[in-house]
Amino acid sequence: MPLSTVIVAGAGPTGLALACGLRATGVPVRVVDKAKGPAATSRALGLQPRGAEVLDRLGALADLPEGSVHIRQVLTHVNGEPMARLNVGQRTKLVTRPGLIISQAEVEARLRHRLRDLGVEVEWGRELLAADQSIGGVTVQIDDEAIDAGWLVGCDGAHSGVRKAAGIGFPGVAVIERFLLADVRVPLSLPQGAVSVWLRGDQMLGAFPMPGADVWRLMAPAPTGTAADLGGEEVLALLVDLLHDHARLPSVDVQEALWTSTFRIHRRLASTYRKGRVLLAGDAAHVHSPFGGQGMNTGLGDAENLAWKLSLVAAGQSGEGLLDSYEAERRPIAEEVLESTSAMTRMVVGGTPMARLIRDHVFVPLMNRPVVQRMIWEKSSQLKVSYRKSPLAGRSVRSWAVPGPHAGDRVPDLKCERADGSPTRLHAELGAHWALLTPADGDCATVTRRHLGTGGRVTVLKASASNGRDVMLVRPDAHLAWRGTSAASLDHWLTQALGRT
């Protein structure tokens, strides 16, 4: 096996997205998962605008939006009375896609289809037992087979075998001891396209509309004194009782229980994202509260960020130092998500009488204010993610006073023209490629191709909206790499970023 091969452990959204990103650039990939086959349960539900963008750039979004529930509002009730109507999913200058509720199983199915088109099948029932590193690669023991590869990436969840094999710590704490969950088919007289939340004292219940006729997810913390070893019927009975009490529905006639579960909410962060030729992404690197629907989307962001960097390193077009920017860029994002989701969980659940008083009379009413709604929606969309503090952005010399995106910022999906004059959009040209936005195919294009190769890695485009004399080099993940006017400056940036002398 070529030592440029990357082994991806874990066939969830993060591992599949990473494999798609790597394979689209020609990197040999193997995806292994110890499960016997694809999961059928829904698990994560929220696909934020950023997550949808990533899937779109990977060629895996397909018809997911059409099969999703488009969330427009979060309706919050306190002591049975409606108190806040948080409008989300609205189009703003920043956010042009809705928030989607779609089963994680459906997201994985689209990614597997895309990966199959790229020539890779998931190897099911293959458990990673050990990983030993050498100077030039890593030997991975999978069942009774020893595989020599260039890189190993753990996308194998919170109990990651890759993380344990690499000896990487995973410190953290439990935020809530037990949560109850049930996906049910039940006719409810609740608004479609809205998440309904009820708060009463230390009790909380959420009802999420799911794709399909009369399908809902019910979630709540386990009531105090609940037995530790609940069966599926007991979980469902508790959630139905809470729904009856909080929503004041005259009857709750469950036609089918599709899935029930209990779980603990943890807050954990890996001590490092990389140890030699072993890297972590997704839940293997960070776990947090599901409040806010950030988990699957954060993992997809990890995958896209790592894919373009590892593809350059595996192809010998960059030094390994480029991979240091992966943790430098993505770990602060995870830290912020851990903090914000933990704070949201504490606020919603209300662990003390004072916390509940502030929640009911301050935080919930504030959600009716348009400025707060826009702030929450744009924050949760993940489209404000920026890498301005990245070591890569620090090598850009363009003045901060220049209007428009700065190095490290996400570049909007601009209208552009290809070299032949045909119209396109910026994000449609990314994913497996970089884009150079320039008024003419001149010196900057020549420099970029020299560094990144002529094998289709760089697409030269002309933006419909003028950036003055500036040339912009946009990374495959839609973040601005460099901006300026001098080909010599661009040459210097690429030389430093790619670790060349």
What would the pLDDT profile of 303-335 be if each residue is shown by its tens digit?
Answer: 999 999 999 999 889 999 999 999 999 999 999
* Res 395 pLDDT > 70: no
Cα-Cα-Cα-Cα dihedral of 363, 367, 368, 369, to 10°? 100
pTM: 0.94
Specify whether the CB–CB gap between 301 and 294 falls below 8 A: no
Q: Hey, what are 476's tokens?
A: 């495959």
Q: In Å, how far are 316, 343, 497, 499, 501 from 319, measured between CA atoms?
A: 7, 39, 9, 5, 10
500 compared with 364, residue with greater pLDDT? 364
Q: What's the confidence (pLDDT) of residue 168?
A: 96
Return the closest-CA partner of residue 236 out of 180, 280, 198: 180
Q: State the pLDDT at residue 263.
A: 84
Cβ atoms of 439 and 414 closer than 8 Å = no
The pair of three-digit structure tokens given for residue 265, joined into one six-digit string = 């909410």
Instruction: Decide if 172 contacts 269 (C-beta within 8 A).
Output: yes
284, 270 contact by CB (below 8 A): yes
pLDDT value of residue 500: 65
Residue 408 above 90 pLDDT? yes
Q: CB–CB of 400/406 below 8 Å?
A: yes
CA gap 196, 329 in Å, rounded: 34
Amino acid at 115: L
| Residue ranges of domains in the chain, CATH in brackets | 6-67+102-170+270-347 (3.50.50.60), 69-101+175-266+350-373 (3.30.9.10), 393-497 (3.40.30.120)
Q: What is the pLDDT of residue 351?
A: 74
Query: Pairing relation of β-strands 480-484 and 215-221?
Result: unpaired
Closest CA to 260 of 243, 240, 246, 279: 240
Tokens coding 302: 């990890």
Joined together, the tokens standing for residue 388 give 């301005």
Give all strands of the β-sheet with 69-71 in edge-to-edge order.
46-47, 99-101, 69-71
- Tell me the residue type at 305: N
> How open is the CA angle 184-186-189, to the nearest 5 degrees?
130
pLDDT per residue as tens digits for the range 191-231: 888 999 999 988 899 999 999 989 999 999 888 777 777 88
DSSP secondary structure string for all residues of 164-222: HHHT----EEEEEEEEEEEEEE----S-TTEEEEEEETTEEEEEEEETTTTEEEEEEEP
Is residue 334 within 8 A of residue 294, CB to CB? The reply is no
Distance of alpha carbon 88 from alpha carbon 46, whole angstroms = 13
Give the H/E segment covering residue 487: helix 487-497
Give the integer Cα–Cα distance in Å for 220 and 236.
11
Which residues 6+ apart lie within 8 Å of 140 measured at CB? Answer: 7, 128, 130, 131, 146, 147, 149, 152
For residue 33, the cross-strand partners are: 124
pLDDT at 468: 61
Question: Is 401 a residue whose pLDDT tops 60?
Answer: no
What is the model's pLDDT at position 501?
54
* Encoded amino acid at 136, one letter: G
Instruction: Find all residues with CB under 8 Å of 111, minimum gap 6, and list them.
Output: 13, 16, 17, 20, 55, 58, 60
The helix (run of H) or strand (run of E) holding residue 132 is strand 128-133
pLDDT tier, 289 (very low <50, low <70, confident <90, very high otherwise)? confident
- The identity of residue 243, as a single letter, is L
Model pLDDT, residue 25: 93
Residue 239 CB partners (closer than 8 Å, separation 6+): 180, 182, 205, 218, 219, 220
**Residue 64, CA atoms < 13 Å, CB-side half-sphere:** 31
Percent of the chain with pLDDT over 90: 66
Residues 270/169, Cβ–Cβ less than 8 Å:
yes
Q: For 94-122, how does the pLDDT look when each residue is reduced to its tens digit (9 = 90+)?
A: 898 888 999 999 999 999 999 999 999 99
Question: Which residue type sits at 225?
Answer: G
Predicted confidence (pLDDT) at residue 336 exceeds the cutoff of 80: yes
* pLDDT tens digit sequence for 448-486: 988 887 566 899 998 876 556 789 999 999 999 999 988
Single-letter amino acid, residue 169:
G
CA-based nearest residue to 70, from 58, 87, 53: 87
Q: Which of 343, 179, 379, 164 is nearest to 267 (CA)?
A: 343
DSSP β-bridge partners for residue 47: 100
> Which residues on adjacent β-strands are paired with residue 216?
184, 209
C-beta atoms surrounding 406 within 10 Å: 17
What's the whole-number average pLDDT of the chain?
90
Quick one: what percent of the chain has pLDDT higher than 70?
95
Strand-pairing partners, residue 172, are 268
Residue 71 phi/psi, 5-degree rounding, is -80, 125
Looking at per-residue pLDDT, the higher value among 175 and 375 belongs to 375
